[in-house]
Homo-oligomer: A and B are copies of this chain.
Amino acid sequence: MTKQGPPQVGNNLDPWYDHYSERAGGLRASEVRALFAVASRPEVVSLAGGMPFVSALPQDLVINAMDRVMVEQGATALQYGSGQGVPLLREQILEVMALEGIQANADDVVVTTGSQHALELVSKLFLDPGDVVLSEGPSYVTALVIFKSYQAEVEHVPMDEHGLIPQALREHIARLKAAGKTMKFLYTIPSFHNPAGVTLSWERRLEILEIARSNNILVLEDNPYGLLYFDHPAPDAMRSVERDGVIYLGTFSKTLAPGFRVGWALAPHAIREKLVLANEAAVLSPSSFTQLVISQYLATADWKGQINTFRGVYEERKNAMLSALGEHLPGLSWTNPNGGFYVWLTLPEQLDSKAMLPRAVKELVAYTPGTAFFADGDGRQNMRLSFCYPTPENIRVGVRRLATVIRGELDLLDTFAGTGIRSTADTSRRFGAPPPDIS
């Protein structure tokens, strides 16, 4: 058995080095994490993080909700609560999910410390060492960290501009089955994917649910961005057509504010029971205070109007990013998201987004290298650009700086190798290299 020490600390400095669990070896600092420190310098335009633009939320809406909670329910807000979450809030969450076609019972909702914690709890409940989690390639970086931390293997399934490719999913499952692997669940972000920016079509949602059902694979549907669409809504949630085979994850982090750390899981009834126990073991109960503030906000403020405000903010920023990319990097390709926070950019194939990052930071722009979103080192030709937090003006500045960096890299390569920029990127590589047997 190989043990891995803590990152950035050598074996000889840690007297407890041989005490860590096997699974602790999977907990390594992500590339995104290191970036947070860099990107926080004010002179850097960060297109790296995924912070919502919370300044678009009028603070008096929050202050009014808080004050009312303390006056009307102070003792409850300050106390321990139910491990499943505040009953009224669970009812209100049903109204939020109904906007994406979901009909459910509040008894099957489990409130968690952000939907991140739901992901952690589901992983703890289901993953044994050596199990396989199927996920889009690329996928959400901190989901990959969790799966690894429970010693699961991540199998990336390719996407195109309509999301996860059903035929590729079938082929991956068949190959894994033949290899005797146990596939516990498919982790998917069907709407406004992080980091790819694409949305799974309705037809594919049905097809993928059928594939999962017929292979006895649970679907873990992560939907933080679904309500933040631009032109038109995303297709209804996968959970809207499949009750028993889907664990659905939602959050208030993007439609309200992440500082409260309130998200939820909607689970098949039997699984919900286990989830509550796991939640209690982990935190006893989610914060009564922040749950009640959100419940009060939902009951008294125009929360749908506020989501419309966020949509407008993010759509303006996405437009700023796409027009700047068109102006400064016309030879490259990128996704055109109809919602969410992210654009997925494909570089000329001779460039390496991870190697290029320090030079970008030197030019005062930050992004997330594509490698962060693959469990297997893929993604060097890609980067994630976020338009959620910087102003449109800063987005334009950032993309201009990025173009300078990319052109500089290409010039350097030209000088040494005589190759030039390709006028169109190879679209088969837009989502990372497909594995050899799926090309």
Contact = CB atoms under 8 A, between A and B. Distances in A.
Q: Which residue, A51, A120, A245, has most C-beta atoms of chain B within 10 A?
A: A120
Contact of A8 (B9, B126, B128, B273): B273
Contacts of A124: 21, 23-24, 149
A301 interface: no
Contacts of A27: 125, 274, 277-278, 281
Interface in A76-99: 76-81, 83
Interface in A104-146: 113-114, 116-117, 120, 124-128, 131, 142, 145-146
Which of A14, A57, A274 counts the most chain B CB atoms within 10 A? Answer: A274
A426 interface: no
A78 B57 contact: yes
A360 interface: no
A282 interface: yes
B54 A20 contact: no
Interface stretch (A63-71, A162-170, A375-383): A63-71
Identical chains bound together, number: 2
A289 B54 CA distance: 13
A6 B142 contact: no
Interface stretch (A254-262, A406-414, A429-437): A254-262
A14 to B, nearest CB: 3
A369 to B, nearest CB: 18
A290 interface: yes
A171 to B, nearest CB: 22
A278 to B, nearest CB: 6
B268 A16 contact: yes
B78 A51 contact: no
A59 B80 contact: no
A127 to B, nearest CB: 6
A125 B62 contact: no
A135 to B, nearest CB: 16
B113 A149 contact: no
A259 B291 CA distance: 10
B14 A149 contact: no
Contacts of A6: 270-271, 273-274
Contacts of A14: 268, 270-271
Given A6-B270, A79-B259, 15 more contacts: A6-B271, A16-B268, A19-B184, A20-B126, A21-B128, A57-B78, A62-B78, A66-B70, A116-B284, A117-B283, A120-B281, A120-B283, A145-B277, A261-B284, A261-B287
